[in-house]
């Protein structure tokens, strides 16, 4: 039996709970995984803890009806995130608070406290991993637990497992890809004639954009993912500030039309490469030939090509944003922890 606490019950946290609930039987039959959600703590929606396990369907119903979980019958109410991480009887803490790529907070503190309390951590939060992965990995190792972060890059599409496990034994010389769902969704729909502000609003409503969407459109989210990939898979020591960055805010409909006339498409491309002993990286809009496989990656679909010594280019294409998609990324990390227990 694995007991799970979820910090942050917005799009990601609640969709992870939904996946866990809907796949409960399959997880038991196929993997022998039995799992209880014992605690949820969210700064806006409330907190509830029951060491015996919470009724996920009831939590989801409450969130749908009132966007609050305070009305849950039973359990201990009102434990803040730090107390939940320290005191709930969870084996695994799922940290799904909002991303802050400047301080990593509040996620960084949640994760450190959870690791110190010897709980495995799964996070969807890009800030702490982009800013402090080596320190968090060391802390996890010292406490004999794991820190996993599959869904920080391309939501549930398995990029981290591909790079760290599937390509183990290769030298990854670099990568190139489309790593932000919101901006790719905006560029795709602008090409169809939509207006930038309307499409961004829609992306927020659909749960693709960050709480603070300037992070998406100014390229910072893609930079965070680039740093995460480079540091975890290429052994780089990149900081967010080291990555050259330009977002899509200056792209006007006339630029998209001009690209079309040249038989090209504008894409926000993330790129990392080795330069001697260093790894360098850049995120910027590029004019991509229609024959380039990245040109046909549209909407919230993302793509990533690793350049490896053993296989040459290895490409993965899949959803880059979305609640259910990210919920599945958390589930894949949970299954990896289950396999190792
Ligand atoms: N805001 C992010 C994106 C969510 O649009 O890609 C997934 O990390």
Quote the ligand 1 centre to 1 CA distance (angstroms): 32
Reported as a pLDDT band with limits 50, 70 and 90, residue 321 is very high
Model pLDDT for residues 238-259, shown as the tens digit of each residue: 999 999 999 999 999 999 999 9
Q: How far apart are CA 152 and CA 158, in angstroms?
A: 10
Residue 46: closest CA among 14, 70, 12, 82: 70
Could you give the residue numbers annotated as active site? 225
Closest by Cα among 243, 95, 259, 254 to 179: 243
Distance from CA of residue 298 to its chain's centroid?
19
Domains of the chain: 2-153+323-340 (3.40.50.720), 163-319 (3.30.360.10)
Tokens of 244: 């050259």
In angstroms, what is the span from residue 207 Cα to ligand 1's centroid? 9
Query: Cα-atom radius of gyration of the chain, to the nearest Å?
Result: 20
What pLDDT band is residue 71 in, cutting at 50, 70 and 90? Answer: very high
Nearest residue (CA) to ligand 1, atom 4: 321
CA 277–ligand 1 middle distance (angstroms) = 30
Report the pocket of ligand 1 as residue ranges, CB < 6 Å: 155, 180-182, 208-210, 216, 221, 320-321
Evaluate if residue 211 carries a pLDDT over 90.
no
Number of the ligand 1 atom closest to the C-alpha atom of 216 = 1
Q: How confident is the model at residue 212 (pLDDT cuts 50, 70, 90)?
A: confident
CA distance 282 to 93: 32
- For residue 49, give both structure tokens: 């803890």
What's the CA-to-centroid distance between 82 and ligand 1, angstroms? Answer: 26
Q: Tell me the best of 180, 187, 225, 299 to mutate to test the pocket of ligand 1, counting ligand atoms within 8 Å of each CB and taking the most.
A: 180
Task: Identify whether the C-beta of residue 19 lies closer than 8 Å to the C-beta of residue 331.
Answer: yes
pLDDT at 210: 85
DSSP letters spanning 87-117? HS--SEEEE-----TTT-TTHHHHHHHHHHT
- Evaluated on CA atoms 107, 239, 334, 21, the torsion sign reads positive
Is residue 128 within 8 Å of residue 101, measured between CB atoms? no
């Amino acid at each position: 039996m694995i007991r799970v606490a979820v910090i942050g019950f917005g799009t990601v946290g609640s969709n992870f709970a939904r996946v866990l609930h809907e796949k409960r039987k399959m997880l038991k039959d196929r993997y022998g995984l039995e799992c209880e959600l014992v605690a949820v703590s969210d700064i806006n929606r409330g907190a509830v803890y029951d060491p015996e396990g919470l009724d996920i369907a009831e939590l989801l119903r409450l969130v749908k009806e009132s966007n609050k979980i305070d009305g849950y019958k039973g359990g201990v109410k009102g434990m803040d995130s730090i107390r939940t991480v320290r005191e709930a009887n969870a084996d695994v803490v799922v940290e799904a608070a909002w991303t802050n790529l400047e301080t990593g907070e509040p996620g960084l503190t949640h994760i450190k406290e959870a690791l110190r309390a010897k709980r495995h951590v799964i996070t969807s939060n890009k800030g702490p991993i982009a800013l402090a992965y080596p320190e968090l990995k060391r802390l996890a190792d010292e406490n004999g637990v794991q820190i996993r972060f599959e869904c920080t890059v391309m939501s549930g599409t398995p990029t981290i497992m591909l790079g760290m496990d599937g390509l183990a034994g290769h030298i990854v010389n670099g990568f190139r890809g489309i790593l932000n769902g919101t901006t790719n969704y905006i560029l795709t729909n602008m090409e169809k004639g939509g207006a930038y502000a309307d499409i961004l609003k829609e992306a927020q409503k659909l749960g693709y954009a960050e709480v603070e969407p300037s992070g998406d459109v100014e390229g910072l989210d893609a930079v965070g993912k680039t740093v995460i990939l480079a540091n975890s898979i290429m052994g780089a020591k990149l900081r967010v500030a080291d990555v050259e960055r330009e977002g899509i805010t200056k792209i006007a409909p006339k630029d998209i039309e001009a690209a079309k006339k040249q038989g090209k498409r504008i894409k926000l491309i993330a790129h990392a490469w080795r330069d001697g002993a260093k790894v360098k990286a850049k995120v910027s809009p590029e004019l991509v030939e229609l024959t380039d496989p990245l040109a046909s990656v549209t909407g919230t679909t993302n793509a990533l090509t690793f350049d490896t010594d053993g296989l040459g280019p290895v490409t993965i294409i899949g959803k880059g944003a979305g609640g259910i998609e990210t919920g599945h990324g958390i589930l894949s990390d949970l299954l990896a922890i289950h396999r190792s227990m």
